[in-house]
Amino acid sequence: MVIADSLAYYGPKGGLPADHPRIWPTLVAKELGWQVELVARIGWTSRDAWWAITQDPRVWAAVSRAEAVVFAVGGMDSLPSPLPTALREQLRYIRPPALRRVVRSGYQWLQPRLSKLGRPVALPPALSVRYLERCRDALAAIRPDVPVIGTYPSVHRCDAYGRVHTGRTPAVLALEAWSAQKSVPMVDLAAAVRENIFSDRANPDGIHWGWEAHEEVAAAMIDAIKNVRRQATSVEIEKE
């Protein structure tokens, strides 16, 4: 089961179905001989992952049969969000449509300009980690045997965020501490996608990846999953 933002299902030309053969969750599942349950949406943060775990019946069904759970969220948390996230989320509900278009245009004009400040971020690192830990703890209460894998934020060159990502380093430091404390294996998305995202083979929006990046993330995730399963097997053998 993969709980993610749009990086999990966007390719070089836009969003794709959850079963698309070239996105990294599908590549991972194919390599391991598993089926994948991708629970994701554009703009999701660690807080949305918590809401998905507690409110989405697809997640409840998938947990019982999951061989591993991946939290591929947190990247949005670290992006500059000078205007309240709640404002962005509520734009779609503004009526009449003419007013909604005016407000959205204003938001889209302000967002990249104010993003150059680099702060505040969508979710402070401590809060991001708190939500991830609540997710991990909830899963452990139901399935203590299922491995949980986290991710470090990707990188971007997105004009919509002023090409600024000063929130990434504090986020990584907080995630590293959580990983060490709770023994959560981590996959560094930035290391896997950096070359691609700064090339002309990535999505022109500057934040979503090309196919090579999906392949690199899949390879890193497969290694992480195989490693944690080997460790679990070793522990079982030692117990015997």
Specify the pLDDT at position 58.
93
pLDDT tens-place string over residues 166-182: 999 999 999 999 999 99
- pLDDT value at 42 more than 70: yes
Question: Strand pairing of 38-40 and 14-15?
Answer: unpaired
CA distance 118 to 114: 8
C-alpha to C-alpha distances, 129 to 55, 95, 178, nearest whole angstrom = 19, 36, 7
Specify the pLDDT at position 230.
83
Specify the pLDDT at position 237.
57
Q: Which amino acid is at 70?
A: V
C-alpha to C-alpha distances, 181 to 25, 138, 150, 175, 236, nearest whole angstrom = 26, 17, 13, 10, 22
What's the pTM?
Answer: 0.91
Question: Which residue has better confidence, 45 or 233?
Answer: 45
pLDDT tens-place string over residues 175-227: 999 999 999 999 999 999 999 999 999 999 999 999 999 999 999 999 999 99
Three-state secondary structure of the chain: CEEECHHHCEECCEECCCCCCCCHHHHHHHHHCCCCCEEECCCCCHHHHHHHHHHCHHHHHHHCCCCCEEEECCCHHHCECCCCHHHHHHHHHCCCHHHHHHHHHHHHHHHHHHHCCCCCECCCHHHHHHHHHHHHHHHHHHCCCCCEEEEECCCCCCHHHCCCCCCHHHHHHHHHHHHHHHCCCEEEHHHHHHHHHCCCCCCCCCCCCCHHHHHHHHHHHHHHHHHHHHHHHHHHHHHC
- pLDDT value at 239 more than 70: no
Q: How far apart are the first and last CA of the chain?
A: 29
pLDDT category, 68, cuts 50, 70, 90?
A: very high
Question: Strand pairing of 38-40 and 2-4?
Answer: parallel
pLDDT tens-place string over residues 117-172: 888 999 999 999 999 999 999 999 999 999 999 999 999 999 999 999 999 999 99
Q: Which amino acid is at 113?
A: R
